[in-house]
Amino acid sequence: MKCLKQILNVLQKNKFLCGEVVDGNKIRNVEFAENGEKFMNELLELWRQINCDWVKTDCTNGNAGNCNNNEIIESRVSFLDCKDFQNQYLRCEGTGEIFSHPILEKSATVKEEPNRNVVTLKSTSCRKLISDYFVERSIGLEKLYNLQRERKIWWMRLSANPSRYFVEAYDDPTPISQKKCQYVNQSTVVKSRFAFGSEDIESITLAYPQYINFADSPICLIRSSINLEIASTALLLDALENTQRLLLSLNRKLAPFQCVVACSHEGEKLDKDLIDLCLHICHIIRKIGLRVYDRHIHHSNYISLVEELSCTDCLGIPYAILVEKDSLKTGLLKLRNRDSSLSETIHISDIKAYLFKIFT
């Protein structure tokens, strides 16, 4: 098991993120580097896929001007005072339409409880992935329980260590106007547990807003909220904490690069036909939509090749395709797995279908 400082050093070296470790159990002033930005964008794309009705627009501004208060208060139900939400809720209540409403929001990075979690961002703003579910009041609690279970499982599938995720009840210390809430709001949080602390990954809140003179509004709301930067950092920490070897065990769908092509050749000069074969394999892989590491690896020394592949393991690349001199005659390649470092032999004609099956 690695300490937090060791984990951060690996992430900095491989251009995922940088920051500073405080008291051995917290990271402050977290900033994302090139590969970290790519990883975060892949997480955003995966979230978009589960919100199929999401429309690609610019980030909405979740700060002052949109809310009735000039002071930004980080509360699980503070969004009830935002004009955009009120308008959206009234449209739903007026038509009786039940639907989900995903939002990509840019807002201030205000912590709910200082020093409670592992990660603090350096940036003054963050991106929040918000899904609002407008449902009938009679099934609100049932939907809340089902959703928190679904979301926990979703995070477990993305994790190198699924057992670290758990759901915890949240008591919102911020008072809320009773005229806005007919019933008691409830909130839970999906958390990730590390040896050095725990981090909030996603909050899920059940609220009963009321903005018109109805004794009983038929609609309640369940809001899921994810801080994209915090969640991405937690997944990167997760990918390194419990690995036996020095590698970044990223989910294969989130890895910035999903495949790398490496060539083992004889002599000082690389055969032009081998170069062409490597380029052809890269073309095949890209054609099925996979992200290929843009740096080709060529070595005549086997030990140097192994060292180079160890570096790609620290970039989180799940698979490496090894091309050898005999590959030109036999068409046989080796597919190396990052997590086990073991290789299997595969024919070049099968590589497209085989990789497509692995990644879908």
**Domain residue spans of the chain:** 4-64+71-242, 259-359
pLDDT reported for residue 57:
40
SS3 category, 51: coil
pTM: predicted TM-score of the whole model, two decimal places = 0.87
Tokens of 334: 């080796």
CATH topology of domain 4-64+71-242: BirA Bifunctional Protein; domain 2 (3.30.930)
pLDDT reported for residue 68:
43
pLDDT reported for residue 194:
93
In order of 67, 78, 84, the CA distances from 72 in angstroms are 8, 9, 15
pLDDT reported for residue 55:
46
Phi first, then psi: give them for residue 242, nearest 5 degrees: -110, 10
Tokens of 275: 């170069």
User: pLDDT per residue over 162-206, tens digit each?
Assistant: 999 999 998 765 555 545 555 567 899 999 999 999 999 999 999
> Residue 96 carries which side chain, given as an amino acid letter?
G
The answer to whether the CB of 13 falls within 8 A of the CB of 314 is yes
Task: Give the rounded distance of the alpha carbon of 64 from its chain centre.
Answer: 27
Question: DSSP readout, 298-350?
Answer: EESSHHHHHHHHHHHHTTT--EEEEEETTHHHH-EEEEEETTT--EEEEEGGG
> Checking DSSP bridges between strand 219-227 and strand 197-207, what pairing results, if any?
antiparallel
pLDDT reported for residue 74:
54
The answer to whether the CB of 300 falls within 8 A of the CB of 266 is yes
pLDDT reported for residue 67:
46
DSSP annotation of 181 = B
pLDDT reported for residue 123:
75
**How many helices and strands in the chain, by DSSP H and E?**
9, 15
Mean per-residue pLDDT pooled into runs of 10, the chain (360 residues): 88 96 91 96 91 51 46 59 72 58 66 66 82 87 94 96 94 55 76 93 88 66 92 96 88 97 84 92 96 89 90 97 93 96 96 94
The answer to whether the CB of 220 falls within 8 A of the CB of 48 is no
pLDDT reported for residue 142:
93
pLDDT reported for residue 38:
97
- Residue 69's CB: how many other CB atoms inside 10 A? 10
**Rounded CA separation 328/160 (Å):** 36
pLDDT reported for residue 5:
92
**CATH 3.40.640.10, domain 259-359, yes or no:** no
